[in-house]
Amino acid sequence: MFRTYLLERSSWITFIIGLQFLSILIASIDPTLSLEGILYVVLLSFIFLVIFIIVRYQRETRFYKKLKDGIDAHHPVTPFQSIVTDYLTTISNQYEQHLSTNHIEIEQEKDQLLAWIHEVKTPLTALQLVIDRVNDRSVKQSLHYEWLRLHLLLDQQLHLRRMPAIENDLYIETVDLSPLLIEEIKPLYTWCQQKKIGFDLDLSDSEVISDGKWLAFIIRQIVINAIKYSDNSTIEIKLYQEDQHKKLSIQDYGQGIASQDLPRIFDKGFTSTSTHSNQASTGMGLYLARKVASSLHITIDVNATLDVGTNFTLTFPNRNAFLELSSM
C-alpha cells in the first residue's frame, strides 16, 4: 500500500524535490546567496517532507485500506473520499434494489412452476387410468413407460424447486426401508417387466435414521439409474452394518460406468462419454441425489466397471449425527 501511495503522490513529491534542486542551482549561480545555507534549508525541507509523507500516508490510506479489506468505510476524511463514499452508496442501493426485484421475480416464477407441476399431476392421474384400460399389452407397456418418464421428470423438477429450502422441510425419524423400497419399486414394475429386470432385497434390519420423504427421493434416483442402464438382470439391494454405520448397497449388473466418468457422475447435467446415444438422460438425477444426501448427512460411494455393473452405497449417519440433524 505504501508503494501505491508513493506512486499516487509521485507528481507532488517530484515537484517539491524539483523546487529544492532549483534552489541549489540558483545558489550556485548567484554569488550573493550562501550555498551552505541553501543546502541546510534543503536538508531540513527533505526531513520535513519525509515526516509529512509518513503522517499523510497514515491518514489518507486508512479509508482505502478499509475499502480494500471489505470493511465498512463510511467515514471519509477528505472531499474526494466523500465523493467515493457517495458513489459506492448509490451503487450499493441500486444493486440491492435490483437484487430484491430479481429475488421477487424468481420466487414468483418458482411458485408458478410449482403450481403448474401440481396441476399437471391431475391429468397425469387421469391418463394413468386411461392407460390401465388399454387391452393391447405391448401398447399398454409403451404408453405406461412414456407416462412414467413424464411422471419422474415432473417429480424431479418438484424436488429441485423445493431443494433450496430443504432444511425447513426435514423431519428426522426412524425410517423402515422395507416398505419404502417396495413403494419406490412398485410404480416401476411395468418398466422393469419390459426390460426383464428383477429385484433381490436383503433387509434383515431395515430401520435407518433419516427423513423418509427425501430418502425415498435419493433411492428413487439411484434405482431409476440402475434400471435405465440394465437389461435382463437383477438389481440387488442390501442393508448391512459396518463401522457403527448402516449402509444400503444398490448393485446392478448393467452397462457400468467408464473410469473417466466416475469422478463426474454427480456433476450437474453430466450424462456419459460412452453412451451419447441415450437421449433420455438429463444428467440431473444423481446430481440431485448427492445434494439431498449432503443435507441428510448421507454419504454416497460408487464403484463401477464398464460392461460389468455399478454399485451405489449409502452410508447413514450414526446417533451423534442424528442429534445434529434433529436440531435443525
**Tens of pLDDT, residues 152-193:** 888 888 888 888 888 888 888 889 999 999 999 998 988 898
CA-to-CA separations, 135 to 138, 185, 187, 217, 262, in angstroms, rounded: 9, 24, 19, 32, 43
Q: What is the dihedral of CA 248, 299, 210, 327, to 10 degrees?
A: 160
Per-residue pLDDT at 304 exceeds 70: yes
For 76-132, write each residue's pLDDT tens digit: 777 777 787 788 888 888 989 999 989 888 888 878 887 888 788 888 889 888 888
Phi then psi dihedrals of residue 275, to 5 deg: -130, 60
| pLDDT surpasses 70 at 280 | no
Q: What is the pLDDT of residue 87?
A: 83
pLDDT score of 281 more than 80? no
Helix (H, G, I), strand (E, B) or coil at 319: helix
Contact 214, 163 (CB under 8 A): no
pLDDT of 41: 87
Q: Say whether pLDDT at 247 is over 70.
A: yes
Question: What does each C-alpha distance from 322 to 165, 171, 203, 298, 318 come to in angstroms?
Answer: 19, 11, 21, 11, 6
Find the mean pLDDT for residues 53-63.
81
Q: How far is CA 65 from the centre of its chain?
A: 31
Pairing of strands 309-315, 299-305: antiparallel
The yes-or-no verdict on residue 276 having pLDDT over 50 is: no
What is the mean pLDDT of the segment spanning 221-242?
Answer: 92
Residue 313 pLDDT greater than 90, yes or no: yes
Local confidence band at 73 (pLDDT 50, 70, 90 cut-offs): low
Average pLDDT, the chain: 85
Give the pLDDT confidence score for residue 182 in this predicted structure: 93
What's the confidence (pLDDT) of residue 66?
75
Does 67 score more than 80 pLDDT? no
What predicted TM-score, i.e. pTM, was given to this entire model?
0.68
Quick one: pLDDT at residue 72?
66
* pLDDT value at residue 62: 75
Contacts of 225 (CB under 8 A, 6+ apart): 285, 286, 310
